[in-house]
Amino acid sequence: MKTYKVTVDEGEFKIDKNDINSLDICQVAHGDYHILKDNKAFSIQLISVDYKDKKVRLAVNGNTYEIAIQDKYDQVVEKMGLLTNTSQKVRDIKAPMPGLIISVMVQEGQEITEGTPLLVLSAMKMENQILSQGSGVIKSIAIAAGDAVEKGQVIIEME
Beta bridge partners of 89: 135
C-alpha closest to that of 15 among 71, 60, 56: 71
Structural domain boundaries enclosing 62: 3-79
Q: Are residues 74 and 105 in the same domain?
A: no
Which residues, 6+ apart, have CB-to-CB distance to 76 below 8 Å? none
Q: Using CB atoms within 10 Å of the CB of residue 100, give its burial: 0 to 12 exposed, 13 to 18 middle, 19+ buried.
A: middle
Q: Are residues 28 and 69 in the same domain?
A: yes
What's the structural domain count of the chain?
Answer: 2
- Summarised one tens digit per residue, pLDDT across range 108-155 is 999 988 888 999 999 888 888 888 888 889 999 999 999 999 998 999
Q: Are residues 29 and 72 in the same domain?
A: yes
Residue-level pLDDT at 84: 53
Residue 89, pLDDT > 80, answer no
- Summarised one tens digit per residue, pLDDT across range 31-70 is 899 999 888 999 999 998 888 888 899 999 999 998 988 8
Q: Are residues 21 and 75 in the same domain?
A: yes
Residue-level pLDDT at 88: 55
Q: What mean pLDDT comes out for the span 21-36?
A: 91
